[in-house]
Amino acid sequence: MCSLWLIFSFYEFIKDAAMIRKSSSAYVGGLVGALVDSFNIWMLGKIGFTALIGVGLRPEFRPAWLYPRLVWGGIWGLLLLLPILKSRPIQRGMLLSLAPTAMVYFIMFPEMGKGTFGLGFGLLTPVLVLLLNFIWGIVAAYWYEHGR
């Protein structure tokens, strides 16, 4: 009876360890994706691309701007734990990136006074945000796939 309990306990430990590994890979994948996304939008603003296309997004690469993006990127990365398109990381990342994109369109931009879809920043803002979030999702999905 004692050996049966020991086997069951070991099985539970292994199962828990696998879940911790998956969860941490998902979180870090989202965080790394957010770092890439943050660098991209900063660089696009820095080189003048956002101004060229008429988008008023030109963030400064500072800790107060970056840290919340990394934390939220990690939280959104936990969506990778859902069993969706597991064998197709590009499509999976792009599909899951629609959730944070919607949050930016419908919550963040309106709270900033820039309207739904952030059109107050410029007409191409929704397209730019969608494309950058696709990159976030793809990076996050690849990190998750190779980290678990």
**Dihedral over Cα of 38, 67, 125, 128: its sign:** positive
Tell me, what's the pLDDT at 96?
Answer: 97
Instruction: Report which of 118, 114, 37 is spatially closest to residue 73, judged by C-alpha positions.
Output: 37
Task: Give pLDDT, residue 17.
Answer: 79
For the entire predicted model, the pTM comes to 0.86
- Would you state the pLDDT for residue 114? 96
Low-confidence ranges of the chain (pLDDT < 50): none
The pLDDT of residue 7 is 59
User: Dihedral angle at the C-alpha atoms of 122, 125, 126, 129, nearest 10 degrees?
Assistant: -170
Q: What is the largest CA-CA distance in the chain?
A: 73
Q: What is the pLDDT of residue 20?
A: 87
Buried/exposed 40-50: b ≥16 CB within 10 Å, e otherwise: ebbebbeeeeb
